[in-house]
Amino acid sequence: MTADPVADGTADPAADPAADRTAELLAFLRRRLTGDYEVDEFGYDAELTDKVLLDLLRPLYRHWFRVETAELKHIPDEGGALVVANHAGTLPVDALMMQVALHDEAGRALRLLGADLVYQLPVLGHLSRKTGHTLACPEDADRLLRKGELVGVFPEGFKGVGKPFSERYKLQRFGRGGFVASAIRAGVPIVPTAIVGSEEIYPKIGDLPSLARLLGLPYLPITPFFPLLGPLGLVPLPSKWMIEFGEPIRTDEYEPGAADDPMLVFNLTDHVREVIQQLLDQLRLRRGHAFPPFL
Q: What is the reported pLDDT for 116? A: 74
Q: Residue 71's pLDDT is what?
A: 97
Indicate whether 61 pLDDT > 90: yes
Residue 222 has pLDDT above 60, yes or no: yes
Q: Which residues contact 256 (CB under 8 A, 6 or more apart)?
A: 184, 185, 187
Average pLDDT of the chain to the nearest whole number: 89
Q: What is the pLDDT of residue 132?
A: 87
Name the band, by pLDDT with cuts 50, 70 and 90, for residue 214. confident
pLDDT at 3: 54
Would the pLDDT of 262 be above 90?
yes
In whole angstroms, give the CA distance from residue 153 to residue 99.
11
Hey, what amino acid is at 80?
G
Residue-level pLDDT at 21: 75
Cα–Cα distance measured from residue 126 to residue 26, given in angstroms and rounded to the nearest whole number: 24
User: Each residue of 153-212: pLDDT tens digit?
Assistant: 999 988 888 999 999 999 999 988 899 999 999 999 999 999 999 999 999 999 988 888
Whether residue 7 is predicted with pLDDT greater than 60 in this model: the reply is no
Contact present, 152 and 112 (Cβ < 8 Å)? yes
The one-letter code for the residue type at 55 is: D
Please write the tens of the pLDDT for every residue from 36-57.
Answer: 678 888 889 888 899 899 999 9
Q: What pLDDT, on the 0 to 100 scale, is given for residue 15? A: 60
By the 10 Å C-beta count (0-12 exposed, 13-18 middle, 19+ buried), 56 is classed as exposed
The predicted structure's pLDDT at residue 75: 98
Question: Looking at beta carbons, which pairs linking 142-147 to residues 24 or more positions away fall under 8 Å?
Answer: 142/182, 142/185, 142/186, 144/42, 144/80, 144/111, 145/80, 145/81, 145/82, 145/182, 145/183, 145/185, 145/186, 145/188, 146/80, 146/186, 147/80
User: What gap in Å lies between CA 76 and CA 170, rounded to an integer?
Assistant: 28
pLDDT band at 265 (very low <50, low <70, confident <90, very high): very high
- 292: how many CB neighbours lie within 10 A of its CB? 10
| Cross-strand pairs, 249 | 190
Name the residue among 200, 223, 205 with its Cα closest to residue 284.
Answer: 200
Mean pLDDT of 267-277: 97
Distances (CA, A) of 42 to 39, 126, 132, 158, 265: 8, 11, 8, 23, 27
pLDDT band at residue 143 under the 50/70/90 scheme: very high
Task: Answer yes or no: is pLDDT of 17 > 70.
Answer: yes
Give 294's pLDDT tier (boundaries 50, 70, 90).
Answer: low
Residue 113: pLDDT band (50, 70, 90) is very high
Q: Can you give the pLDDT at residue 10?
A: 53
Residue 259 one-letter amino acid: A
Contact between residue 38 and residue 31 where contact means Cβ atoms under 8 Å apart: no
Confidence at residue 149, expressed as pLDDT on a 0 to 100 scale: 96
